[in-house]
Structure 1
Amino acid sequence: MNPQPREINDSLSDSNGENQQQRHKKKSSTQLPQPGTAQGSCAFDSAMITLVPITDAAHVVHGPSGCAANIWGNSTSLSSGSMLYKIRFTTDIDESDIIFGGAKKLYKGILELQRRYKPSAIFVYSTCITALIGDDIEGICKDVTETTGIPTIPVHCPGFIGGQKGGNRVAGEALLEHVIGTAKPDVTTPFDINLIGEYNIAGAMWNFLPLLEKLGIRVLSKITADAIYQEVCYAHHAKLNVVLSANALINIAKKMQKVYGIPYIEESIYGIEQINQCLRNIAANLRDIDLIERTEKLIAEEAIALEAKLNLYHSELQGKRIIVTIKNFKSWLIIFTAQKLGMEVIAICTQMNTEDELVKIKDLLSRDSIILESENSQKILQIIKDYQANILIAEARYLETALIAKIPFLDIHRQSDRAYTGYTGIWELARELYATFYNPVWEQVHQLAPWEES
């Protein structure tokens, strides 16, 4: 059973506080997650997913090997350089370490890691067990830093402190306390910005960076998509922080505004209108007239190029009916792309969408579209039959539903091997829809089995 959406306890709420209206933007539950029961269910998972994209750093799990195994391969963040971040190091705490303490084991392990791999930095993650037995990872990290000269950063993220939001917050606090503000860049420009809250899943950031390069905007630091440790250290020299996911690392942007006077904006790089708005807001906040003009020119050029690419698929997909039931993806992006291709969204499940996303979805859908607040296979099958749907876009567990209905099935998961960010992402999604619908396997699904023919 998939984990339900949860909020962390009040003690981990943002230090600046949230008003009541903001608290109701997300569906929540008062029940805390059970650490280790499922991927992404505890603060430890989330903290590691947040910091692991710092590619030239070593990431050490101070806990049992099961904790390291639980997060092994659950993030498809890509790197353009070092691959050290792909290795998971663990102290493999056992029964004797629980009795006598695992501090010495951690210290010796980090020294050996530093000798063999020469990382730019080392992040040490506490877990439920090591937090309960009271291992002083703060002191150990300080000793290792003094001994080796390699920055060693403690991340206090035992799973029992909360869920995803708690892990994001703890990871952000570790960067603020130990990393950001510890170095200076060689040069700065008036157009230096930080991108915060993206992890380069399936290379998502690589679809957006070329747009900024065309405008002459320099990304000083990426926190933490395809980042190196040094660039995070001098993030405080940027002129603007662009938060690409309000749910992740928003505390970094707020604290940097308070301490360093860096303004921040919250944007999205999924969907053409969102990308256009993001580029315009960045240019407006950098306050350069020439940059603003170049931005409008770029948006116009990209719109023409994208329209030409989508026209290749429009005639083949026009009039097709789709059902969308995706919990961990921007459903409204699929709706927008489908409508640009002349497709009709007849039903969508909104079980995991925030209130802001629901507004976007309802604005895009027609009056006849069905909005499901909950989902099950039987209900989806009935809708497919009643409305003659042509394709089902859902999680992998609904593949059998599509096979029973004998219609094409597209699995778009947030950890897929394709990115749907930027203008390129919209075109990529259109290609996926076309390739799925015209896959020859669906013709075979409709054929009778040999024993049925006789």
Structure 2
Amino acid sequence: MNPQPREINGSLSESNGENQQQRQKKKPSTQLPQPGTAQGSCAFDNAMMTLVPIVDAAHVVHGPSGCAASIWGNYTSLSSGSMLYKIRFTTDIDESDIIFGGAKKLYKGILELQRRYKPSAIFVYSTCITALIGDDIEGICKDVTEKIGIPIIPVHCPGFIGSEKGGSRVAGEALLEHVIGTARPDVTTPLDINLIGEYNIAGAIWNFLPLLEKLGIRVLSKITGDAVYKEVCYAHHAKLNVVLSSKALINVAKKMEKVYGIPYIEESIYGVEQINQCLRNIAANLGDTDLVERTEKLIASEAIALEEKLAPYRKRLQGKRILISIKSFKSWLIIFASQKLGMEVIAICTKNNTEEELITIKSLLGKDSILNSETPQKILQLINNYQADILITDGRYLEAALIAKIPFLDINIERNHAYTGYTGILELARELYTTFYNPVWEQVRQPAPWEIENSLEEI
């Protein structure tokens, strides 16, 4: 049977370690939305975002084709192996299915999918319509699993159950209930860890894995960026869970600590100091003295190498003034790299940042640099008032940069560049340099031919 609303709401209300007073001050993220008031991505979208990076599994949307299309190609989560995850499957529920039920169509669809593609597992996602008509995807998944012998995992994530973060939590609950703990690895080591909460957008996790390999730390499971299904199954054999840059799957880490006794730490792999601290904390929690020494040596060598590579960019970018307005990507992550290059962040728009992110931003820039209102007119006014040299945005305010005739860098969640690890800092430096010194901006600032002609006529 499908879970009751009380059960769903319980999974969404997982605490992030806040005290009661903090929770009272903030609007609860578990409050069910009123009809017609949903904004941005829904719980279904984020549930798929969380699980689709399991690259050798098939992902079936039990609902209208529009639900499958809504996130098609929006997120550049990359794979080093199977490309099956790039294909979206849907039962394409129509009017007759709403009247008579879509269970039979889902059952036949899964059988055909398995016959043609031979996936390691199949995730089945409920949607608003199929949840409302009461299709028993739990029972269907169980029946098909018994028939064909591969795991069929139900994910109860209709869009109306809550916020974007709620969808990620529901996805985490599905992994905990149906996947994690169902297999054993061939071998284990004292330095096995899991990486949780990183979806390998633009290959972000690939910038960090080589650092762990140099230290002899083995990533047993990735949840879920560039993961294969089997490795998620035996994630419970790791010695440490490392939650990376995301609160979305904190429920997975907490439940694994409670059930399997695996401690967890929350870290970031964006920014030099953050990466250094992450490596140090991993080494310390694994309890290997030799590993701690190797970690310090690695950090020192990487710092020297990075400084040498950044020097040419810092020489050309130092003192440049940046205005940041990014909705879909954590703005403060860009601040770390900018300050490393000696650039000045003059203002940042923080409309969609969480309270924790705001605290980080205030510690980096000061309260006066934080703005809440965002309109094209306001952005243009800020560019002129602060004499910004470059605008970093996510596509909404590019026109303001064009009017002001200053360079702009488009950074968003659909990005094709990873800013994680030490190499991520260097990548952003390259992007800032090529953007700022693109010859097109010199041409843009030149008077138009007709303006030159008019001035000659006046003379």
Q: Same fold (TM over 0.5)?
A: yes
* C-alpha distance 59-335 of structure 1, shift in aligned 2 (>3 A): same
- Once residues 156 and 278 of structure 2 are traced to their aligned partners in structure 1, the CA distance between those partners, rounded to angstroms, is 33
* C-alpha distance 173-31 of structure 1, shift in aligned 2 (>3 A): closer
Kept in 1: contact 2:271–2:421 (CA 8 A): yes
- Once residues 27 and 393 of structure 2 are traced to their aligned partners in structure 1, the CA distance between those partners, rounded to angstroms, is 21
Name 1:203's counterpart in structure 2: 203
Name 2:103's counterpart in structure 1: 103
Kept in 2: contact 1:36–1:42 (CA 8 A): no
Name 2:413's counterpart in structure 1: 414
Gaps of 5+ in 1: 1-7
- The one-letter code sitting in structure 1 at the alignment partner of 2:244 is L
- Once residues 17 and 420 of structure 1 are traced to their aligned partners in structure 2, the CA distance between those partners, rounded to angstroms, is 28
Deviation at 1:355, TM superposition (A): 2.5
- Once residues 220 and 402 of structure 1 are traced to their aligned partners in structure 2, the CA distance between those partners, rounded to angstroms, is 45
Kept in 2: contact 1:26–1:355 (CA 8 A): no
- The one-letter code sitting in structure 1 at the alignment partner of 2:66 is G
Within 5 A, what are the aligned runs for 1:136-215? 136-215=136-215
- Once residues 25 and 222 of structure 1 are traced to their aligned partners in structure 2, the CA distance between those partners, rounded to angstroms, is 34
Residues 5-54 of structure 1: CA deviation (Å, up to 9, x unaligned): xxx96773017985335537977776727689665x21110100000000
Name 2:369's counterpart in structure 1: 370
Deviation at 1:204, TM superposition (A): 0.4
Kept in 2: contact 1:395–1:413 (CA 8 A): yes
Kept in 1: contact 2:394–2:411 (CA 8 A): yes
- The one-letter code sitting in structure 1 at the alignment partner of 2:268 is S
- Once residues 283 and 156 of structure 2 are traced to their aligned partners in structure 1, the CA distance between those partners, rounded to angstroms, is 37
Kept in 1: contact 2:182–2:234 (CA 8 A): yes
* C-alpha distance 24-334 of structure 1, shift in aligned 2 (>3 A): farther
Name 2:384's counterpart in structure 1: 385
Name 2:228's counterpart in structure 1: 228
Name 1:429's counterpart in structure 2: 428
Name 1:453's counterpart in structure 2: 452
* C-alpha distance 366-175 of structure 1, shift in aligned 2 (>3 A): closer
| 400-409 or 384-393, which deviates more | 384-393
* C-alpha distance 34-414 of structure 1, shift in aligned 2 (>3 A): farther
- Once residues 153 and 131 of structure 2 are traced to their aligned partners in structure 1, the CA distance between those partners, rounded to angstroms, is 16
- Once residues 171 and 55 of structure 1 are traced to their aligned partners in structure 2, the CA distance between those partners, rounded to angstroms, is 15
Within 5 A, what are the aligned runs for 1:282-297? 282-297=282-297
Name 1:32's counterpart in structure 2: 33
Deviation at 1:370, TM superposition (A): 2.7
- Once residues 331 and 67 of structure 1 are traced to their aligned partners in structure 2, the CA distance between those partners, rounded to angstroms, is 29
- The one-letter code sitting in structure 1 at the alignment partner of 2:420 is T
How many percent identity over aligned positions?
A: 81
- The one-letter code sitting in structure 2 at the alignment partner of 1:342 is G
Asked if 1:244 is matched to 2:252, the reply is: no
- The one-letter code sitting in structure 2 at the alignment partner of 1:68 is A
Secondary structure at 1:393's aligned position in 2? strand
- The one-letter code sitting in structure 2 at the alignment partner of 1:373 is N
- Once residues 374 and 35 of structure 2 are traced to their aligned partners in structure 1, the CA distance between those partners, rounded to angstroms, is 24
* C-alpha distance 88-36 of structure 1, shift in aligned 2 (>3 A): farther
- Once residues 308 and 428 of structure 1 are traced to their aligned partners in structure 2, the CA distance between those partners, rounded to angstroms, is 14
- The one-letter code sitting in structure 2 at the alignment partner of 1:120 is S
- The one-letter code sitting in structure 1 at the alignment partner of 2:426 is W
Kept in 1: contact 2:257–2:263 (CA 8 A): yes
Q: Alignment length, in residue pairs?
A: 445
| 127-136 or 320-329, which deviates more | 320-329
- The one-letter code sitting in structure 2 at the alignment partner of 1:452 is E
Q: CA RMSD in A?
A: 2.1
Kept in 2: contact 1:27–1:352 (CA 8 A): no
Residues 169-224 of structure 1: CA deviation (Å, up to 9, x unaligned): 11011111110000000000000000000100000000000000000000000000
Kept in 2: contact 1:33–1:42 (CA 8 A): no
- Once residues 80 and 352 of structure 1 are traced to their aligned partners in structure 2, the CA distance between those partners, rounded to angstroms, is 32
Secondary structure at 2:396's aligned position in 1? helix
* C-alpha distance 397-203 of structure 1, shift in aligned 2 (>3 A): same
Within 5 A, what are the aligned runs for 1:2-21? 12-14=12-14, 18-21=18-21
Gaps of 5+ in 2: 1-7, 454-459
Secondary structure at 1:173's aligned position in 2? helix
Kept in 1: contact 2:198–2:246 (CA 8 A): no
- Once residues 178 and 452 of structure 2 are traced to their aligned partners in structure 1, the CA distance between those partners, rounded to angstroms, is 70
Secondary structure at 1:396's aligned position in 2? coil
Kept in 1: contact 2:32–2:161 (CA 8 A): no
Name 1:347's counterpart in structure 2: 347
Residues 104-128 of structure 1: CA deviation (Å, up to 9, x unaligned): 1000000000000000000000011
